[in-house]
Chain A
Amino acid sequence: MAMPGNQRTVERLVADHYIALYRYAYRLSGSEADAEDLTQEAFCKAQMNLSQLREASRAKAWLFSILRNAYLHRVRTEHHQPTVALDFVGDIAEPLPDALPEVDGERLQQALNELPEGFRTPLVLYYFDDFSYRDIAEQMDLPMGTVMSRLARAKAYLRTRLLPTDQVSPASGERPRRASDGM
């Protein structure tokens, strides 16, 4: 029965990170209600385990990690919509059109929801800017190469889902390109 952390510290954590944490939760869960619940749960767990946070500079990564664990716990206990297999998606960057169309938020979330969690998480963390590949690898307890590969494939998948088909360069039927090709 750990003692709750110092109230001021916890309030400071909330003030500094609640927006990023909520957005991360939303992008993971795809629902406002779930995102708020997850954010709540993450802060409550953080409050009870504040002594585990050794460096204040790691607070954000620590909170994100708590939130992801809470999310994974829910995913395991609840029924979730099926996700796509990314075997057909390559991981090499392809030329893109000069002018990118506006990304529709709902469509983006739908595409994110279609990604398996192991692909969605590195992608979302990557676009939250503050996380390096190493941070993401640590969060997910994966080798950095795996994170990069998953990230590239998740990005390629989003490209196919978000950009008009005539703007994505690989011709249909062509084998997807991998970084390992030709090595």
Chain B
Amino acid sequence: MECKTARNLLAFDHPTMVELDADDRAALEAHLAHCPDCDALARAERQFDRHLGLAIREVPVPTGLKTRLLEQLARDRDAWYRRWLARGMRVAAVAAVLLFGLYLGWNWHQQHLPRLDPESVAQEALQPRIAPPDRAAVEAWYHKKGIRTITPDRFNYAFLASYGLGEFQKEEVPHLFFQKGVNHAEVYILSNTQFDLHELPPVYHSPSGDQIQLQIWQPGNGYAYIILYTGDLLQLLQRDERPAA
């Protein structure tokens, strides 16, 4: 090793020596063992480092410093917990106000629920039977429920016993029930937006003789009417739908 290299390596001559690998360190020490000039320089440098290191670390530590530090840290902790508590209480207060508001709202709502008495219940429940709605009123009712539909115009709505939603092939569809004496008809109204109606015939009559008869009407208005009936269907239709006697 040359003196120039050795002197450059001396810059790494740190107490921890982690930057010099073992080979370089060994080579440096070997060079110092044989080169009096570099060895003197290294000794002087190390001595200066020791000397200066001692002087730099030689700082008197004030008495009671540790106690003061710990006291300050404890005060900081307490202050943090106080702030945290205050913040927590503010959050709790806001939450309590919100909960109280919700309670008041719920309470108000409960007190303003529509009151039910037997008379109003009976009136509501029997309304369609007492005074069957006309066709327009039925369509308006479906419209109010968010369902656009066209009810069959051939039926006599004076015989409409009930209406609502019925399940047809797992889909909810408008469902009408007509009744006159022993004659009943259930009507399912299928829309071409809900079902593919192309395969259905425009008119279908099931063979007579079955107890429950089926008719399918598809008047071309985008709807198909599936009619299940017993007895004489004609009795449930408009007068002009019946064949002349």
Task: Give chain A's interface residues, CB within 8 Å of chain B.
Answer: 1, 3-4, 7, 10-11, 14-15, 18-19, 22-23, 26-27, 32, 35-36, 39-40, 43-44, 47-48, 91-98, 100, 103, 105, 108, 112, 123-124, 126-134, 144, 148, 152, 155, 158-159, 162, 179, 182
Contacts and interface: CB of A to CB of B under 8 A. Distances in A.
Majority secondary structure of chain B interface residues (helix, strand, loop or mixed): helix
B70 A14 contact: yes
B52 A133 contact: no
Interface residues of B, number: 41
B51 A44 contact: no
B10 A93 contact: yes
Contacts of A3: 80, 84
Q: Shortest 10 CB-CB distances between A and B: which pairs?
A: A96-B44, A103-B55, A23-B59, A127-B53, A127-B56, A132-B18, A132-B16, A26-B59, A93-B45, A4-B77
12 contacts: A1-B84, A4-B77, A14-B70, A15-B66, A18-B61, A22-B65, A40-B68, A47-B73, A93-B45, A96-B45, A155-B52, A162-B52
B192 interface: no
B41 interface: yes
Contacts of A32: 62
A47 B71 CA distance: 13
Interface in B115-131: none
Given A22-B61, A96-B48, A132-B18, A40 B55 contact: no
Given A105-B55, A134-B18, 6 more contacts: A10-B73, A22-B65, A40-B68, A43-B69, A44-B73, A93-B41
Contact of B65 (A18, A48, A108, A127): A18
Given A92-B7, A130-B16, A133-B12, A36 B55 contact: no
A95 B19 contact: no
Interface in B60-94: 61-62, 65-66, 68-70, 72-73, 76-77, 80, 83-84, 87
Given A4-B80, A127-B52, A18 B19 contact: no
A162 B51 CA distance: 11
B19 A144 contact: yes
B62 A158 contact: no
